[in-house]
Amino acid sequence: MPKMQPGEAGQVMRRFGLGDEDVAAWHESGLPEDAFTGWLTDRVARRPSGRRAREVYGAEDVHDFARRPILDALAPGPGDHLLEVGCGGGLLLRDALATGAAATGIDHSAEMTRLARQRAPGAGVVCAAAENLPFAPNTFSALAMSVVFFFLADPARVLRECRRVLRPGAPVAIYTTGPELRGTPAAPEPLASLGHFYSDAELAALASQSGLADVQVRNDGGGQLLSARW
């Protein structure tokens, strides 16, 4: 990254809706300039923190374009136990609980897990990494992932981990952002440069290679819903 101009970090942050608290957090981080894009990506979406992140991920309509198709695809109900990986503020967990299912979420952002516990009382919420799920084999009957897959450096590893903790035949619904949305408000730069985009065919192949069956990718204007079962 070329050397930043004075005030440039603050300008970029304001484009993302960040405020004085976030600007101060960047300066207090003591990180070198070339770590800025990674820091910003974490702050906004990859490991959200700060007041603005709590407002965004606790909002009623956050990612409802993903939440609704995921829940439609999984159709949870009494007797089910849904796992959400990267649960953010917990609204999907809350909506899953409302169907009568049990719901557990993991997220590696401590702030998001605190928010999810508030927004989805009754759900189990654990601060953990998708790559090392702290659950016994065959624990869950369904898997949800909403706007998380894009951030995974090793998605095959995460899918293997999910498989370990899911029961045979469990449905899976993963919503992610396709390459056609790169550079749009759905995947703005510079965050997009640190994300992982897959064509529909690549996404389906990744799922099949990880042992998923009945793999389908539905693409709605660049938003991809991968549905499958184990």
Interface with ligand SAM, residue 130, by CB under 6 A: yes
Question: By the 8 A CB rule, do 137 and 164 touch?
Answer: yes
Q: List beta partners, residue 125.
A: 105
Interface with ligand SAM, residue 48, by CB under 6 A: yes
Q: List beta partners, residue 175.
A: 146, 225
Interface with ligand SAM, residue 146, by CB under 6 A: yes
State how far the Cα of 32 lies from the Cα of 85, in Å rounded to an integer: 31
Q: Smallest distance from the beta carbon of 198 to ligand SAM, in angstroms?
A: 16
Number of residues binding to ligand SAM, judged by CB under 6 A: 24
Interface with ligand SAM, residue 109, by CB under 6 A: yes
Q: Which is nearer to ligand SAM, 72 or 214 (CB)?
A: 72
State how far the Cα of 167 lies from the Cα of 152, in Å rounded to an integer: 23
Interface with ligand SAM, residue 123, by CB under 6 A: no
- Closest residue to ligand SAM, Cβ-based? 88
Interface with ligand SAM, residue 104, by CB under 6 A: no
Interface with ligand SAM, residue 18, by CB under 6 A: no
Kindly give, in sequence order, each residue whose CB lies less than 8 Å from that of residue 46, ignoring residues fewer than 6 positions away: 151, 194
| Cβ neighbour number for residue 75 with a 10 Å cutoff | 12
Interface with ligand SAM, residue 45, by CB under 6 A: yes
Pairing state between β 142-146 and 81-85: parallel
Q: Which is nearer to ligand SAM, 141 or 146 (CB)?
A: 146
DSSP label at 122? T
Q: Give contact residues for ligand SAM (rule: CB under 6 A).
A: 45-48, 57, 62-63, 66, 86-88, 106-109, 112, 129-131, 146-148, 151-152
